[in-house]
């Protein structure tokens, strides 16, 4: 027996499989940020002062575009690599819960709120009467990490966990996880925007506590965007997650929910368990949907004249009744058998002659099996009377007869 095929798969195959599991928006952000970095690298562009988040430029010259251009540009390979590696698990989890369009809206909302907090804190620090910090007004910040810190806070809240591991080294309380990461990054890395990350944490908590609920539209808004012709090519992609269903208010349940209780008083312990019933999810059922108007399992049977019959639902109750009647010593009623065959063949349009022929089939013709076929099934351990009845019900088809006999024994 061959070993596990997954273990034999090479690196390209595994990367292909991993990338195929990343939802549409998350993978799109990764691709866009990666392409922008490569273009800057190949063209030698390093004038980040023109596109970075600069509070003084936003306040004095009202360059609002910096709020959104700054999150797409990265200064180095490690910068973009670490940010995208953090985005893939966070973004994938949130996109599967929210949907692709809703997550895009939340990302834009978080980026905007981060910028507002950043500007306000920078203004307060610069105009502090006790000790002025002009540095924050002239700090040039780029990268997606501010939004990532907001997503970390939201995902930690939704998971309902009480503790989180920091790089697998030690565990910290979940409510302090984002702040511990903030301190660790400040200690380990240089040129890290303390204010940018801190504002991301503040935006995440504001979203978690429901302070942005009045800015979140309902599901009809997202559905209207998804059904527009502009996004038709994106919606048809298999990795696109449609935002349908969920709660009518259009936002994830937050800590302000009535049923939000926790021993720590900060995060809800069972909040994650309630998401399946209140949030839109793109689920694929592994069980086939059965129409109870047509019970049973369909199968195609061939007529005695070589014509192709329609797919017929096997009536197990009729088969059981036929077999039970013979087990009790009753003779086989050909009219009953003919009626069953007529019901089966009569579902084919234009097969009146087939149904008529099936009503009065003699035992030595057509639907009745030969002695050789009966002996084959008897040699398999089945009772001869049951074999004859099963072959008659199966229109002489050995495969169908075996299925009938096996179903009766089970």
So which residues are the catalytic ones? 145, 197
Residue whose tokens read 């000790």: 131
Q: Could you give the CA distance from residue 25 to residue 287 in angstroms, rounded to a whole number?
A: 28
SS3 string, the chain, reads CCCCHHHHCCHHHHHHHHHHCCCHHHHHHHHHHHHHHHHHHHHCCCCHHHCCECHHHHHHHCCCCHHHHCCCCCCCHHHHHHHHHHHHHHHHHHHHHHCHHHHHHHHHHHHHHHHHHHHHHHHHHHCCCCCCCHHHHHCCECCCHHHHHHHHHHHHHHHCCCEEEECCCEEEEHHHHHHHHHHHHHHHCCCCCHHHHHHHHHHHHHHHCCCCHHHCCCHHHHHHHHCCHHHHHHHCCCCCCCCCCCCCCCCCCCCCCCCCCCCCCCCCCCCHHHHHHHCCCCCCCCCCCCCCCCCCCEEEEECCCCCEEEEEECCHHHHHHHHHHHHCCCCCCHHHHHHHHHHHHCCCCCCHHHHHHHHCCCCCCCCCCCHHHHHHHHHCCCCHHHHHHHHHHCCCCHHHHHHHHHHHHC
**Alpha carbon 318 to its chain's center:** 42
Residue 255, token pair as written in the block: 């800590």
**Alpha carbon 237 to its chain's center:** 13
- Environment class of 272 (CB within 10 Å of its CB; exposed 0-12, middle 13-18, buried 19+): middle
Contact, 26 vs 88, CB < 8 A? yes
Strand partners, 313: 298
Residue whose tokens read 């990054």: 185
Collect all residues with Cβ–Cβ distance below 8 Å to 408 and sequence separation of at least 6: 319, 320, 323, 386, 390
């Amino acid at each position: 027996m061959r070993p596990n095929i997954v273990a034999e798969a090479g690196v390209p195959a595994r990367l292909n499989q991993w990338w195929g599991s990343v939802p549409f928006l998350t993978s799109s952000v990764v691709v866009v940020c990666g392409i922008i970095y490569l273009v800057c690298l190949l063209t030698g562009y390093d004038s980040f002062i023109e596109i970075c988040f600069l509070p003084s430029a936003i306040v004095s010259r009202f360059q609002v575009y910096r709020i959104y251009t700054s999150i797409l540009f990265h200064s180095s390979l490690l910068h973009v690599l670490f940010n995208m590696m953090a985005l893939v698990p966070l973004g994938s989890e949130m996109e599967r819960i929210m949907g692709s369009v809703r997550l895009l809206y939340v990302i834009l909302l978080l980026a905007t709120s981060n910028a507002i907090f950043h500007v306000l804190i920078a203004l307060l620090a610069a105009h502090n009467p006790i000790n002025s910090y002009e540095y924050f007004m002239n700090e040039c910040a780029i990268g997606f990490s501010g939004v990532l810190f907001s997503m970390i806070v939201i995902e930690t809240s939704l998971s309902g966990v009480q503790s989180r591991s920091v790089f697998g080294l030690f565990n910290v309380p979940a409510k302090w996880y984002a702040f511990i990461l903030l301190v660790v990054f400040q200690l380990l890395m240089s040129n890290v925007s303390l204010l940018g990350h801190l504002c991301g944490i503040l935006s995440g908590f504001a979203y978690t506590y429901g302070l942005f609920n009045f800015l979140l539209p309902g599901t009809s808004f997202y559905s209207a965007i998804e059904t527009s012709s502009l996004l038709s090519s994106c919606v048809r992609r298999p990795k696109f997650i449609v935002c349908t269903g969920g709660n009518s208010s259009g936002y994830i349940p937050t800590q302000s929910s009535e049923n939000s209780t926790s021993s720590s008083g900060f995060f809800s312990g069972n909040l994650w368990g309630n998401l399946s019933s209140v949030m839109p999810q793109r689920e694929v059922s592994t069980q086939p949907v059965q129409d109870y108007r047509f019970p049973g399992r369909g199968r195609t049977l061939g007529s005695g004249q070589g014509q192709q019959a329609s797919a017929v639902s096997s009536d197990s109750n009729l088969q059981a009744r036929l077999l039970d009647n013979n087990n009790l010593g009753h003779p086989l009623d050909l009219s009953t058998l003919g009626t069953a065959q007529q019901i089966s063949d009569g579902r084919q349009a234009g097969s009146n002659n087939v149904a008529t022929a099936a009503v009065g089939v003699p035992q030595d013709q057509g639907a009745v099996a030969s002695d050789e076929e009966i002996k084959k099934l008897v040699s398999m351990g089945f009772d001869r009377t049951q074999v004859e009845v099963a072959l008659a019900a199966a229109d002489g088809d050995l495969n169908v007869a075996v299925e009938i006999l096996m179903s009766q024994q089970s």
